[in-house]
């Protein structure tokens, strides 16, 4: 499906990204992530414009291919209770919030 532009249209474009992750060391404390963006090099924008005075075909490679290698190491253990919401309700108010 073509996308409308002010004096023409933009062709649709598609791309495929892929990533792989491998955990290692004791308790999976470290990980390596390999990711590749636009593996088929299809993230190209093609646009057509025309008026009484010009005809233009425009092509641009958007966000070129990229390969990333990431090494991550987790220090210690995550304490999930830090992120839990504190209970501000008391039994005497019947579960109603204070100060509203």
pLDDT by residue, tens only, the chain of 100 residues: 666 666 787 788 788 899 999 998 887 889 999 999 988 888 888 888 888 888 889 888 877 789 999 999 888 776 677 777 766 665 555 555 555 5
What is the rounded CA–CA span in Å between residue 40 and residue 17?
9
| Inside any domain, residue 84 | no
- Give the separation between CA 14 and CA 41, rounded to whole angstroms: 9
How confident is the model at residue 58, as a pLDDT? Answer: 86
The reported pLDDT for the residue numbered 20 is: 96
pTM: 0.54
80: left (phi over 0), alpha (psi -120 to 50) or beta: alpha
- Domain count for the chain: 1
Q: Is residue 87 part of a domain?
A: no
Give the pLDDT of residue 34. Answer: 96
* Domain membership flag for residue 94: no
- Decide: 71 and 39 in contact? Cβ < 8 Å: no
Range of the domain at 12: 3-75
On whether residue 96 sits in a domain, the answer given is no
Q: Is residue 37 part of a domain?
A: yes
């Amino acid at each position: 499906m073509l996308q409308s532009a002010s004096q023409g249209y933009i062709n649709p474009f598609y791309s495929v990204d892929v990533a792989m992750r491998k955990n290692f060391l004791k308790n999976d404390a470290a990980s390596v992530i390999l990711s590749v963006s636009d593996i088929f090099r299809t993230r190209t924008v093609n646009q057509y414009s025309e008026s009484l005075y010009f005809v233009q075909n425009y092509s641009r490679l958007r966000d070129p291919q990229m390969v990333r290698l990431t090494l991550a190491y987790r220090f210690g253990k995550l304490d999930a209770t830090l992120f839990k919401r504190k209970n501000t309700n008391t039994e005497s108010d019947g579960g109603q919030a204070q100060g509203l």
